[in-house]
Every structure is written in C-alpha cells, then in structure tokens.
Amino acid sequence: DQQVKQNSPSLSVQEGRISILNCDYTNSMFDYFLWYKKYPAEGPTFLISISSIKDKNEDGRFTVFLNKSAKHLSLHIVPSQPGDSAVYFCAASLYNQGGKLIFGQGTELSVKP
C-alpha cells in the first residue's frame, strides 16, 4: 500500500526551462510534506517543505504547491540547471512524527544543456 506515489520515474528538461515533478498521496492525515534531492552514492538532502495549512512555499528557484483536496503536490524548478539533475523524492509525515517519513519512489530529473 503505497501512501506516497511519484508516478513518473523520469523526466527530461532543457536547461532554462521549468521542471515540474509531481507527487500524490492517499493519507489525508499527513500534515507535512517535503522534497529531497539525491545524487548517486549520496544520501538524500532536504530541498524544500510545506505544511498542510499552506498551499505554496517558495525558496529561490524552487516552489512547492500543495492541493489538499486532490491530495497532490508538485515541485517546480525555474529555471532548471544541469546541476539539478538528480533523483527527487517526495515525502510526507504525520503530526508529531516528523522524522518518520513516508517516501515516494522518486523521479529522476535530467536537465540537458
């Protein structure tokens, strides 16, 4: 039972364009959502997060949108850069279980020069 799903295993984008990574979840009790970035042979690193009481959070080139009614969130990267090429994981947590993260399967982003 996959509570957090990333249905696109890979995405290829041209440098300078927008990258949109999508994530769906099933548990309406999730109260915090995060995006992690992972390079090969490294551990995941935190990228951006959003609380369930918000619908948008922005940090530089990265914006996360949350649509609670659709149980859907997305990560927008504008403009995309070759250094953004990595695997991106969506994750969610329940109230007061912030470190116990439920991850999606990941989307591999390739940004081509």
Partner 1 sequence: GAGVSQSPRYKVAKRGQDVALRCDPISGHVSLFWYQQALGQGPEFLTYFQNEAQLDKSGLPSDRFFAERPEGSVSTLKIQRTQQEDSAVYLCASSLVSIGTGAYGNTIYFGEGSWLTVV
Residues that bind partner 1 (CB under 8 A): 4, 6, 9, 32, 34, 36, 41-46, 49, 89, 91, 93, 96-106
Q: Shortest gap between Cβ of 79 and partner 1 (angstroms)?
A: 24
- Please choose, from the candidates 109, 60, 62, 113, the residue with its C-alpha nearest in 3D space to the C-alpha of residue 85: 109
- The number of beta carbons lying within 10 Å of the beta carbon of residue 82 is 10
For residue 79, give both structure tokens: 């403009």
Q: How far apart are CA 92 and CA 34, in angstroms?
A: 6
Q: Shortest gap between Cβ of 113 and partner 1 (angstroms)?
A: 27
Q: Which residues pair with 32 in a beta bridge?
A: 51, 93
- The number of beta carbons lying within 10 Å of the beta carbon of residue 75 is 23
Q: Shortest gap between Cβ of 34 and partner 1 (angstroms)?
A: 4
Q: Shortest gap between Cβ of 83 and partner 1 (angstroms)?
A: 19
Toward partner 1, which CB reaches closer, 43 or 60? 43
